[in-house]
Structure 1
């Protein structure tokens, strides 16, 4: 069994972990600001192999390296803490239990890209998390870790905690920047990319919470230490969120490349008396897997090679009592509701996917409707402004691929076979 690697989660069971006393001194920030040049910090993160932990998996150090230097413009760091996708639940507990790891990572990152202003954009509904982050930022200011001449290094940094208004689309980096500027959160056409023209048309790095929080340990322990975990191309550790029909749901921090089978062993397996039916490797915007994928290494390359995406490592586990059609409908209702409406494929496509799926779930559809929803999904995929549209198509295509017979069963019996009131139960006469 692959062992867990508690780094970000190491102090979560300490009662005062969220305070500066519980976290300890910012030793990594002090090391970086006083003994390492900014470009050397960027190179260290490149050498570590850290890839974005927000879903896309883009090399973090490379993204930092895109920021033009000596351009006469202010540089900005924006932390994407707008965790909103169904099933994704790692950044919220991380900020709740260990906010200072994020703040220390912000300091090091801002120093590396030569930014004197940083923002943490948090989803507005998680008020308890916002208050905890704000309290941690106040502690950091009082201790001299934020503000002017941090740790006597001559580096200045102002950090602002900004709460969003609860739009999933603002998790897309350019929509987040528009929201941060006070505009309606909608994706921008790229190029230009944020590294060149981001916040206030200035060079900007946008990184996920877990990505930034991983930086202090890399500075403290070294790039080789981080690169020594994981796989050849997906290095390091990550937080795997197990939810749903599992005995012990929760956050499991482990090297990339671990399998769901190994994680389920640690989590006590599927709830007693039941068996695995399907699961998501990276949240609702990734193609669903089945029991045949239990041994797929959970790294970017292996998951992609099997037709899905690692995403945010949100492992939603569903047993045999779950209706696939109803699950996909619920996800699709979310995407239709959260579509910003800027582009036609996503705005119209998600609406019609929802309508047809409702009909299918009620047992009022036909086999032709399966072709209809896959055709609609094909017309959204690759044609929308941002990844929301693409993500909405993933459960459509994968569910029809793996569970076509279950879709057909709905209109064969005129209703959902998993409804207790149905005259026919799935798999039984």
Structure 2
């Protein structure tokens, strides 16, 4: 048995960071699907955990569909709004509640009334709003900004995160009571590398999607191409697989995707299947050079020099911490007044470089929310305020 989940079709088919399809073919995936559908038939709040690009929104949409709720499915990215706006976006506001509020407006909770509200990147929610969200979940009603009138709600909440919320609770970045309220029913969505039997069926799905858009006849995946796909670690998960197949269809010949058409660019420091006994992936089945990129030579922030030198593989966690303590002791012995800022700056720079200038991965490495990371990036000159604001999407609704 095999099941396919896809996002609703749109005429413009915009580029998106979301996974657009999810196949349940691997035995582990089928078992997960059964658990998800049993959870969906209840009214329990659900917490979906998984790496970026694994299909968390698709799981949330499937939960809504199976639940039989007649209201809308509303998706909101908690990391897409500034702290000053997200309160009004989630809970709504009355006219004159704040500067610029010329008229009353309902929030996303009210928009999802009778249906399901999907809060993606819940770990990015500021602490002050975590308290308000907890109260909404407990009392099943919302109060708009600038109002004292409570509005009753019938909303099922599905939250998602790509960070370890349990660790965030320990670090006091996330409220423990909200964590336990959200995780009544938890779903861990494994990365693509942990469900290898789903890779080729997903690839075939994307072949059919993009060959139609490219006006191509039937296109097949050669045995070599399938081997290349299976022998790769997929750090970008389903989203990366979709991009790889799209490119392969553009360059393939004679309606056949061959190994040399599969453009794989492993992330530095990401363990590939070859490191656990499989054949390396890459162009033509050969390992890719770490510095290779689709656009040619590396420059600027992508250069090898921009990344910190990794410790030798034989250096364990405890030894690395001991070395760090020695370095800190040496710095403190110099009695520098701005030591804290220097150490903080070094940590932020190292994490951002290690993550390839990707904010989501850098935040995950540090165990903090993306909002907190953006603040640090601005403070230490890695991201200007204008650049940060311009990178935010205009709308977080799906």
Query: TM-score, normalising length from structure 2?
Result: 0.31
Query: TM-score, normalising length from structure 1?
Result: 0.29
